[in-house]
Amino acid sequence: RKEVEQDPGPFNVPEGATVAFNCTYSNSASQSFFWYRQDCRKEPKLLMSVYSSGNEDGRFTAQLNRASQYISLLIRDSKLSDSATYLCVVNALHTGNQFYFGTGTSLTVIP
C-alpha cells in the first residue's frame, strides 16, 4: 500500500467554483502534513502546511483528520492561475524524517 494516496483527477472546474481534494495516508505515526503545488515543468512549491485544527490562507483551507488519516484542501472562488497539480505530502519522523509525496491531483480551471 502506498504511503500517500490521492485521486489523480483531472478536475476541470469553471472559474469561481469551489473544489476540494482529499488525500489519505497509511501510517498513523505521521506527524507533519503539507500541500504543495506543482506547475507544468516546474518544481513543487509549498502551498500550505496542514495543522490539526485546520488552517486557512485566503481562498485555501486545509483540514487534517487524524482518526481517519486523511487531509483535505479546499479552494474557493477558483482562478485560472490555480490550474496546477496539487501534491499531498506527509512527513514521518519514524522513518528518518522522510517525506512521502502523493502522485498529485491535476486541476484545470476553465474560463
Partner 1 sequence: DTAVSQTPKYLVTQMGNDKSIKCEQNLGHDTMYWYKQDSKKFLKIMFSYNNKELIINETVPNRFSPKSPDKAHLNLHINSLELGDSAVYFCASGGTYNEQFFGPGTRLTVL
Dihedral sign, Cα of residue 74, residue 36, residue 38, residue 99: negative
Of 43, 67, 68, 81, the one binding partner 1 (CB under 8 A) is: 43
- Asked if 84 touches partner 1 (CB under 8 A), the answer is no
- Asked if 26 touches partner 1 (CB under 8 A), the answer is no
Of 10, 20, 45, 77, the one binding partner 1 (CB under 8 A) is: 45
Smallest gap from residue 36 Cβ to partner 1 (A): 8
- Asked if 42 touches partner 1 (CB under 8 A), the answer is yes
The rounded Cα 77 to chain-centroid distance in angstroms is: 17
Q: In terms of C-beta distances under 8 Å and separation of at least 24 residues, what long-range contacts does 93-102 make, across chains too?
A: 93/29, 93/31, 94/27, 94/29, 100/3, 100/4, 100/25, 101/4, 101/36, 101/44, 102/4, 102/5, 102/6, 102/23
- Asked if 44 touches partner 1 (CB under 8 A), the answer is yes
- Asked if 34 touches partner 1 (CB under 8 A), the answer is yes
- Asked if 35 touches partner 1 (CB under 8 A), the answer is no
Residues that bind partner 1 (CB under 8 A): 32, 34, 42-46, 49, 85, 87, 91, 95-101, 103-104
